[in-house]
Amino acid sequence: MDHVEEIDLAITGMTCAACVSRVERVLSRVPGVTDVAVNLATERARITTADHPDLPALIRAVEKSGYGATLIEADAPPAPPPDNTELVHVLIAAGLSAPLLLGMAVPALMLPGWAQFVLATAVQFGLGWRFYVAGWRAARALSGNMDLLVALGTSAAWGLSTWTWMTTGHAHGLYYESSALLIAFILFGKFLEGRARRQTGAAIRALMKLRPDTARVLRNGAETDTPIGDVRRGDRVVVRPGERIPVDGVIVDGLAGVDASMLTGESRPVEAAPGTHVSAGAIDLDGHLVIETTAVGAETTLARIVRLVEGAQASKAPIQRLADRVSAVFVPVVMVVALVTFGLWLFAGAIPGTALIHAISVLVIACPCALGLATPTAIMVGTGVAAKHGILIRDAAALELAHGIKVVVFDKTGTLTEGKPRLTGVTVFHEDRDTLLRLAASLQAGSEHSLAQAVREAASGNTVAPATGFRTLPGRGVTGSVDGRSLAMGNQRLMKDLGIAVEGGDEASTLAWLADTGDALRALGVFAFADTPKPGAKAAIARLHEMGLRTIMLTGDNKAAAAAVAGALGLDSFAAEILPADKAAEIVRLRADGAVVAMVGDGINDAPALAAADVGMAMATGTDVAMETAGITLMRGDPGLVAAAIDISRRTTSKIRQGLFWAFAYNVLGIPLAALGYLSPVLAGAAMAMSSVSVVTNALLLKSWRP
């Protein structure tokens, strides 16, 4: 079987959507590469390979296409803040261009031709040299990008002005201010764009800053400050009031309020006592804690959250594919339009200078920067703010799909209910109550099921010997031997499979029968359990109904218990006494009816249904298997987060569509206006620069979202 691996590369030199298409194209041609997603906003490429990746070949492919590439190491520290070089370049360009602009506005202050030449040349080939370098790389690779359009447009304006000045000696009728101001505007736009783009990654940086560099490890009775990389499982770590917890672990001594809001979105501190599991990055508010380490480094919950958010921000939404296909042919088409514009103006009787200026305006306004930024910036902000409130979105596809959800399917136990059932009654058919409790607790000693826990708690005064030959039957129950007796404990379906006739009863409780499966094949008794709905479950269902969604519950529990929960919470419908595979089949049936279906669950038995749904949502309070299968992980066991996840998806998708609309609109409106002579190169440059800034700024409005 092929070895599938993902690696991330940092890509330098990309300036627009055309660059993204070019890098994706060359990387996809490297042998072994099965998928590539390049993100302009994060300046990263995520490469999936069917075999061990040939890293040098990947880097060579990127460099050959005119860009730079370096491997991003796992758990790399956050990038240092940028220096002020970009701002300095903008200020210098503005300072050199200002006298040229003043001369254009006030003819009496027009500089002599040689002075205009010196100032414009300094801007064109000093500060604007970056456009020539990147444009040449693109042209050499038989591609086109923003830099090539800017280099061609500004060079044409500078060249026309220089030719006119040298042949006539006049200071008037020159276009030096157009070339210089174009570069100044574009540099300013890229500065604002970069500043805004850095804000989109604030969530990742905030999460990475939660990791302490050292831990106070207790060894031989003494506390030693130890680099976090040297801490091992089983080490005991001391955390004082006000400090961040450096590892995942279980408290063995101490009481404290723990603030885990950055990890789970939970606004209130959680009371932590011995036996409580805590995560790296949480804050010890007011107690002295000793924690036994269970996970460090890349294995911690915090590291997993960072990887999930990074993965979502590095992925590509399906809607972005359209923009990429357009941008791949955009630059060559624009160059043709510019040439046609030049020719038509000459044909209409304009002088070459005027025709060239209009062609330059077409070249400049059509740069496809905004097209490449509309989707990734919205996804970065949306996934970042969602993570801040306890909603982890695995990839952009899940985020985009979630906005169209029409049906939300819930598991019952642990999802809509507390998942902590208590034993409310035992009906004895044979033996006596204490014997039944002891046998049931012994049989269930190796089970992690919530009903097993309730049985063990009820039998705590009895001597329990673990069963031999223990076996779990998913969706039905367990079997094993206790004291040499073959036993089975489970639901009515299991009893039917064993050939034991039992009555389901009418009470709204979860029922489990204990049966002797030896020679005396018979039911020994029935256990009744009660599980209460979560406090916010009813309000969560009501909120989903307000959003126009249908709600369904699927459970392996009996019909009476399922009906009681469904009625109390106001669910639209439910299905009871179904196996895990049947849950997945029900999801498939709902999807076949044309609905976009979300499945919400928390257990191992929910994994098939989570995988079958359009969007799987797993409660992080459940099992790792469920979380690994789901597209969205809810860090708190709060059903209200389901509506919140759908809401942030809708808002993010709306921002993506707004961004793409305005990116296309700038070009659809701007190119004809420039071709018809209604936009000067300076105005075209300003409009082009502001298009990217406006798209990114619009995406940043998502940062104010609250569940």
* Count of residues making up the chain: 707
pLDDT in tens, 66-93: 888 998 876 555 555 566 788 899 899 9
Contact 235, 293 (CB under 8 A): yes
Q: Name the nearest CA neighbour of 266 among 385, 390, 382, 392.
A: 390
Amino acid at 247: V
Confidence of residue 118 (pLDDT cuts 50, 70, 90): very high
Please state, in angstroms and rounded to a whole number, the distance separating the CA atoms of residues 368 and 605.
47
- Only one residue has tokens 């031989």, namely 220
CA distances to 25, 145, 244, 450 from 136, in Å: 18, 10, 50, 65
Annotated catalytic residue: which of 411, 531, 557, 647?
Answer: 411
Confidence of residue 1 (pLDDT cuts 50, 70, 90): very low
Confidence of residue 604 (pLDDT cuts 50, 70, 90): low
Tally Cβ neighbours within 10 Å of residue 299: 13
CA distances to 242, 250, 394, 650 from 275, in Å: 21, 6, 30, 40
Give CA 451 to chain center in angstroms: 35
Confidence of residue 393 (pLDDT cuts 50, 70, 90): confident
Contact 528, 564 (CB under 8 A): no
Please state, in angstroms and rounded to a whole number, the distance separating the CA atoms of residues 44 and 37.
8
Tokens of 45: 């490429």
| Over residues 442-458, mean pLDDT | 84
**CA-based Rg of the chain, rounded to a whole angstrom?**
33
∠648-37-315 over CA atoms, to 5°? Answer: 20
Please state, in angstroms and rounded to a whole number, the distance separating the CA atoms of residues 446 and 482.
12
Q: Name the nearest CA neighbour of 621 among 633, 610, 636.
A: 636
Strand order in the sheet with 68-71: 33-39, 44-49, 5-12, 68-71
Residue 349 exposed, middle or buried by CB count within 10 Å (0-12, 13-18, 19+): exposed
Strand order in the sheet with 270-272: 270-272, 256-259, 283-284
Confidence check: pLDDT of 620 > 50: yes
Angle between helices 113-122 and 146-168 (to 10 degrees): 160
pLDDT in tens, 173-218: 787 888 888 888 888 877 877 776 676 666 667 777 777 888 999 8
Taking the model in full, what pTM does it have?
A: 0.74
Contact 555, 578 (CB under 8 A): yes
Strands 597-601 and 283-284: unpaired
5 phi and psi, to 5 degrees? -145, 145
Amino acid at 412: K
pLDDT in tens, 621-647: 655 655 566 788 888 888 999 999 999
Four-residue CA torsion sign, 427, 429, 431, 437: negative
∠88-94-97 over CA atoms, to 5°? Answer: 140
Residue 655 C-beta-side C-alpha neighbours within 13 Å: 29
Tokens of 286: 């007011």
Please state, in angstroms and rounded to a whole number, the distance separating the CA atoms of residues 488 and 269.
42
Q: Name the nearest CA neighbour of 363 among 344, 336, 345, 343.
A: 336
| Over residues 607-621, mean pLDDT | 84
Confidence check: pLDDT of 690 > 70: yes
Strands 550-554 and 477-482: unpaired
pLDDT in tens, 421-435: 888 889 899 888 888
Four-residue CA torsion sign, 268, 269, 275, 277: positive
Q: Name the nearest CA neighbour of 204 among 295, 126, 306, 300.
A: 306
| Over residues 310-315, mean pLDDT | 69
Confidence of residue 505 (pLDDT cuts 50, 70, 90): low
- DSSP-derived letter for residue 594 is T
| Whole-number average pLDDT of the chain | 84
Q: Give SS3 for 407.
A: strand
Per-residue pLDDT at 116: 92
DSSP string, 78-132: PPPPP-SHHHHHHHHHHHHHHHHHHHHH-GGGPPPHHHHHHHHHHIIIIITHHHH
300 phi and psi, to 5 degrees? -75, 160
CA distances to 136, 191, 378, 522 from 89, in Å: 21, 9, 28, 86
| Over residues 258-280, mean pLDDT | 81
Tokens of 494: 């299991």
Strands 632-634 and 615-619: parallel
Catalogue all structural domains in the chain, each as residue range(s) with its CATH number: 5-71 (3.30.70.100), 212-303 (2.70.150.10), 391-418+534-650 (3.40.50.1000), 422-530 (3.40.1110.10)
Tally Cβ neighbours within 10 Å of residue 542: 14
| Over residues 300-313, mean pLDDT | 76
618 phi and psi, to 5 degrees? -110, 140
CA distances to 7, 135, 152, 617 from 372, in Å: 22, 17, 21, 29
Tally Cβ neighbours within 10 Å of residue 327: 25
Please state, in angstroms and rounded to a whole number, the distance separating the CA atoms of residues 310 and 207.
11
Q: Is 582 a catalytic residue?
A: no
Per-residue pLDDT at 573: 93
Confidence of residue 37 (pLDDT cuts 50, 70, 90): confident
Per-residue pLDDT at 78: 53
Please state, in angstroms and rounded to a whole number, the distance separating the CA atoms of residues 679 and 363.
12
Contact 635, 645 (CB under 8 A): no
